[in-house]
Amino acid sequence: MDVRTAAAYALGDIGTQTYDESNLQPVIDALVKAAKDECADVRAAAVYSLGRLEVPAGDTARVKEVLAAASSDAGYWVREAAQFAQKSVGR
C-alpha cells in the first residue's frame, strides 16, 4: 500500500515535469488505474495527482469521469482530493 501510494504521488510529480503530451499518456493511464485501487490512500494519491496535471483535451472526459466517481468515494481523503482535482482539470 505505501509503495503504491508513493508511486501515485511520484507519477503526479513526473507528470508536472512532462511537457510532451505523448509522454504524459502513460502517466494518466497509470493514475486512472490507481484511482480504482482497493486502498483509499492509493486512490486519494492518484486523484490528487490527476488534479496536478495539465490533462490533454483528449483525456479530459475520461479524467473527469474518474473524478466524478471519486467525489462519492467512501474514503474521506479521496473525496477531498476529487474536490481539489475537479477545480483544475479541464480549465
When comparing pLDDT for 1 and 46, which is higher? 46
* Whether pLDDT at 89 is above 90: no
Degrees (nearest 5) of the Cα angle 7, 61, 85?
A: 50
Give the CATH number for residue 40: 1.25.10.10
pTM score of the predicted model? 0.94
Residue 71 is predicted with a pLDDT of 97
Residue 14 is predicted with a pLDDT of 95
Domain count along the chain: 1
For residue 31, the tally of other CB atoms under 10 A from its CB is 25
Which tens digit of pLDDT belongs to each residue from 35-84? 999 999 999 999 999 999 999 989 999 999 999 999 999 999 999 999 99
Q: What domain range is 71 assigned to?
A: 2-88
